Amino acid sequence: MNYACNDGASIAFLVVFKRIMTIIQLAAPILLLISVTFLFIKMMRNPDDKKGLKRIQNAFIAFIIVFMIPTLAKFVFNITSAESKIGNCLEEEELSSLEENIFQGSSYIEIDDNKNMQPINPDPNGYEDSAPKQSGGSDIVTAPSTGNAVYFLNVGASSDAILVQDEGKFGLIDTGIWGKASYVVKQLKILGVSELDFVLITHAHGDHTGGYNKVMDNFRVKQFFTKTDGANHNGTYRSMIRKAQSKGTYVCDVANPQCQSFNLGNIHFNLYNTQFLTMGGLSSANHTRFENANSICAVATYNGRRVYFSGDIGNYFGQKRESITDRQVGDIDVYKVAHHGYVSFNNNQDAVNYLKADYAVITNTRKPSNVALSRIRRGAGKTVPAYYTAEGTVVMTIDTNGTINFTR
């Protein structure tokens, strides 16, 4: 595979395979208990049966075999995925829902800072379904080809694909999840995109890089912003850089100060968390999750307002990247909430206290729990309206007076 994260069928197969193995592991003890209970009752009714103990022994042997097969299969799966480019597409949160069980099936679970949970009614519109659901019941958002706008696209999954526009110039922050690349391309064309001044991939996870290849194949891209040092550690970075070079796109290494500040029309961008981080001594699953800490964060300034695109930045395994970055960013007006509103390693209270945001945008298939929002509001000391891509693509504009407007 040239770019593993685009292979949605392979990813889906691997995720389903791992879940089936987990179900077998959970079912095996239950079946053992039922079998042993049945055999024990049978022995009590017929004490002369000499084969009773042998049957119970065989039941335990069968349990060990049935339990060990998926255990070994998952072990091999973890090694294989960690050593391949596919491993970069699989996040523990995406495979098992959120670590803190904020989501459960098709319903929501609300969890507060004290880990108390309560069920919330499932969304009747089925935001987790594969077909993207857009504002006004339409599949596609349209807008004038001039003026400024930020489109937080609903790509039918908890992922980021954010188009920034000013006076006919366009830039794209992340490219959505695998399986939705064609939709992203279609949406960009309808919005009037013929070329992109830049593509910025915040980090090498499949819910941010999934549409990268098709975007590069369908649009002329002038600049690709990335952490080139990532290519020394991660196959996804290498693949993206090779793709950009093959298209004649200039690869701008954000570790270079000259690539940390640029303009799109009248919108000025500053980049943060620009050094590539490595972390030794972690398991393969934790290494994959730690890639979130490499999120390139961007602040767009326009008409005196500051919009913060935070990727999936978080405080991971002793590296306080979210707290450090949010302190550097400081007061903002609009916060693209980190990691789709998750709170396991992200949206830490000490971090969001620095932001004091006036608005929040959460890119998620479902409306997540209100923990992240409550922390944002606590840090701002006021009510902070939230907009969710679960309700359709969120469109934001800023007029010449600095007034921020949102439409869905």
Interval 250-255 mean pLDDT = 98
Question: Which pLDDT tens digit goes with each residue over 390-404?
Answer: 888 999 999 989 999
More confident residue, 35 or 263: 263
Cα dihedral sign, 13-19-20-22: positive
Rounded to an integer, what distance in angstroms lies between the CA atom of residue 339 and that of residue 362? Answer: 9
Residue 86 has pLDDT above 50, yes or no: no
> pLDDT-derived band of residue 321, with 50, 70 and 90 as boundaries?
very high
- φ/ψ (deg, to 5) at 374: -65, -35
Tens digits of residue pLDDT in 195-227: 999 999 999 998 899 899 999 999 999 999 999
- Residue 12 confidence (pLDDT): 57
The architecture (CATH level 2) of 135-407 comes to 4-Layer Sandwich (3.60)
- Quickly state the pLDDT bin for 43 (edges 50, 70, 90): confident
CA dist 79 and 69 (Å) reads 16
pLDDT at 112 over 80: no
Closest CA to 322 of 292, 301, 359: 292
Question: Token pair of 80, please?
Answer: 């294989």
Q: How far apart are CA 289 and CA 207, in angstroms?
A: 13
Please give the average per-residue pLDDT across 156-181, as a whole number. 90
> Greater confidence, 166 or 14?
166
Q: Measured at the alpha carbon of residue 151, what is the angle toward residues 253 and 142, in degrees to the nearest 5? A: 130
Nearest alpha carbon to residue 176 among 259, 89, 298, 96 = 89
Average pLDDT over residues 1-26: 61
Break the chain into its structural domains and give their ranges: 4-90, 135-407
Which strands, in side-by-side order, build the sheet including 195-200?
250-253, 220-226, 195-200, 169-173, 162-166, 148-152, 394-398, 404-407
pTM above 0.85, yes or no: no
Per-residue pLDDT, averaged over 375-384, amounts to: 93
- What is the rounded radius of gyration, in angstroms, for the C-alpha atoms of the chain? 24
Looking at per-residue pLDDT, the higher value among 128 and 287 belongs to 287
Q: How far apart are CA 263 and CA 270, in angstroms?
A: 9
118 phi and psi, to 5 degrees? -145, 145
Average pLDDT over residues 158-174: 94
The rounded distance, in Å, linking the Cα atoms of 10 and 33 is 36
**To which H or E segment does residue 36 belong?**
helix 8-45
- Cα 333 from Cα 301, distance rounded (Å): 10
> What mean pLDDT is predicted for residues 340-369?
88
Mean model confidence pLDDT for the chain: 80
Per-residue model confidence (pLDDT) at position 287? 77
Where does the pLDDT of residue 80 fall: very low under 50, low under 70, confident under 90, or very high at 90 and above? low
Which residues contact residue 344 at a Cβ distance below 8 angstroms, ignoring those fewer than 6 apart?
93, 98, 99, 100, 314
Q: Specify the pLDDT at position 223.
A: 98
